[in-house]
Structure 1
Amino acid sequence: MNNNRQNERLLVASEARASRLSPEALRFLATSEYLGKQLLPEPDLEWSPVIIGLCKAAEVEIVNRLIRPLAQQTVSLDLKDDREDKDIGRVTTFCANPDSKPPELGAVAHFLRTVTHSKNRRSTSKLMLTFLDLASNWTGSQWILDPQGLQQVAAKLSTEFRNKAAHIDEMSKEDYRRCKELVIGSEGILWKLDISVEGLK
């Protein structure tokens, strides 16, 4: 994709976020921004609650844009073997029962990494084959499947921010700034995801 064209699309996506993001993601972002404003006068306080909102916004959009469509495509398939695969079992379990709890950010990142690197399983896994077929219809499938693309960003968001904020690690205002840039910065994961899953014309 031409870099100038991609930058234009990223800008449009970020400026039109109210119409392009799910209501859940917007609530998570709004809550995060509200809490961030409350904490600004006290930068030395703990910033995990603010960071969690950003991570949840990214998580819900990734599930909505990638995993729920995958579940719809696999509804009639027998995924027994895939459910027993430790690397993709969490995503498979959700696809087999979309009313269950969605996979966490780290589980999705691991699923993407497995799809990219495990050529042997890719040739036999119904779930992986369906995902690759689904991705072939997206304009930004290269970024989604690239080891340096979505899977790297999602893994970083999970390990450096989401998991730490959800446990006993203390998070700072600087951590919040870095997380915010990763999620909704000029090339944030939300905007790249949005333009990447557009259908081919």
Structure 2
Amino acid sequence: MAKPLEKISKEYPNRGPLSQFRFEKSISFNCLRCGEAKTSKLITIYSNDWEKKLCNGCYGNLLSIYDIKGGQLRLDEKAEQLLGLLEKYVDSNKVREKVKKLNIANNKSSFLTPSSLRFYATSECVAETLTKDPNLDWSPAIIGLCKAFELELVELFINPLKEHCKAVKFSDQDLRDKDFGKIAAYCSGKPMKSPELGVVNHFIQTAVNSNDRFENSSFLQEGLKVFINKFPNHGWLINKNGLNAGIDNLTKNYRNKAAHTDELSKHEYESCKDLVFGENGIMWNLILSLKMY
């Protein structure tokens, strides 16, 4: 559809790739993002293309994404706010239906924790609405995939490590350590929220690469080492090309970019999904590494 012939009564300042116009008369169109038929005097154009019209609701959603990504918050705070948007995009009934479909299509999904599976399903639901134009910003959907892995990592690895560490006596040096002190504090039972991907990654990286620190830390020796040795397939957890490399890839190439000003595409969503949930995805390697058999 070309530019409407109706007279424009007001043109608003551009916000990223979004240009909004108010017409004197209402215009009927199909929204690029939600696909619904709309009639309104207020229309938003995506990327200066009059074939790509957005309704006011979808304009607000996209604007929220740009405002978060361009803001001054810390990376982790931006990621949390984008997750909040992700969950608002999709009706909860659609998410429940997507969970059922994922379990039917891929029985691997049955091994995921409920919260991790919910974020995976929500990301897939949002992705389905974005396929109408692969150039729309896929950041919230990508953040959802990253959150799914983070939740599984905490639930299967960090929280059981914390439970194991109830019998460990933590030194002040462990709790103050600049590289793994946050994980040590969490595992010692201090009241704090569960660690994020970057914090876990730095902890694993230190444990893998610093032999001296490993030998002199009661947390790493009596806590981490004894804990992971219970699992016969734990090699991937401490291999430099295993968990550490996987989280590094996920954070640097997807999560961090999604929370910054980069506009991520369908291609990057598919690449991120393959990294996490693909045939050799880090999600399945994590689960296999933490099985007792």
**What TM-score do the two structures reach when normalised by structure 1?**
0.87
Higher helix share: 1
Residues 29-48 of structure 1: per-residue CA shift (max 9 Å, x gap): 01000000000011110010
The aligned runs of 1:8-157 (5 Å cut-off) are 15-79=106-170, 80-97=172-189, 100-129=192-221, 130-157=223-250
Cα distance in 2 for partners of 1:18, 1:98 equals: 33
CA contact (8 A) 2:137 2:263 kept: yes
Cα distance in 1 for partners of 2:186, 2:242 equals: 23
**Shift in Å, 1:77:** 3.1
Over the matched positions of the two proteins, sequence identity in percent amounts to 39
CA contact (8 A) 1:51 1:162 kept: yes
CA contact (8 A) 2:174 2:219 kept: yes
AA paired with 2:169? D
CA RMSD of aligned residues (A): 1.6
Cα distance in 2 for partners of 1:16, 1:140 equals: 21
**Shift in Å, 1:15:** 3.3
Higher strand share: 2
The answer to which structure, 1 or 2, has the higher relative contact order (CA under 8 A, 6+ apart) is 1
SS at match of 1:163: helix
SS at match of 1:74: helix
Structure 1's 31 and 133: CA in aligned 2 closer, same or farther, altered over 3 A?
Answer: same
**What TM-score do the two structures reach when normalised by structure 2?**
0.61
CA contact (8 A) 1:153 1:189 kept: yes
* Map of 1:5 onto structure 2: none
Cα distance in 2 for partners of 1:98, 1:63 equals: 16
Alignment of 1:178 with 2:287, yes or no, is no
**Shift in Å, 1:25:** 0.2
Residues 119-145 of structure 1: per-residue CA shift (max 9 Å, x gap): 111112122111111111113211110
Cα distance in 2 for partners of 1:16, 1:126 equals: 40
Cα distance in 2 for partners of 1:93, 1:83 equals: 5
Runs (5+) with no aligned partner, structure 1? 1-13
* Map of 2:19 onto structure 1: none
* Map of 1:11 onto structure 2: none
CA contact (8 A) 1:140 1:195 kept: yes
Aligned residue pairs: how many? 187
User: Looking at CA atoms only, which structure, 1 or 2, has the larger radius of gyration?
Assistant: 2
**Shift in Å, 1:192:** 1.0
CA contact (8 A) 1:28 1:54 kept: yes
Structure 1's 76 and 135: CA in aligned 2 closer, same or farther, altered over 3 A?
Answer: closer
Cα distance in 2 for partners of 1:171, 1:55 equals: 14
**Shift in Å, 1:78:** 3.4
SS at match of 2:261: coil
Residues 52-94 of structure 1: per-residue CA shift (max 9 Å, x gap): 1100000111111111111111124332321100110121122
After alignment, is 94-103 or 121-130 more displaced?
94-103
SS at match of 2:258: helix
Moved over 6 A (4+): none
After alignment, is 40-49 or 99-108 more displaced?
99-108
Runs (5+) with no aligned partner, structure 2? 1-104
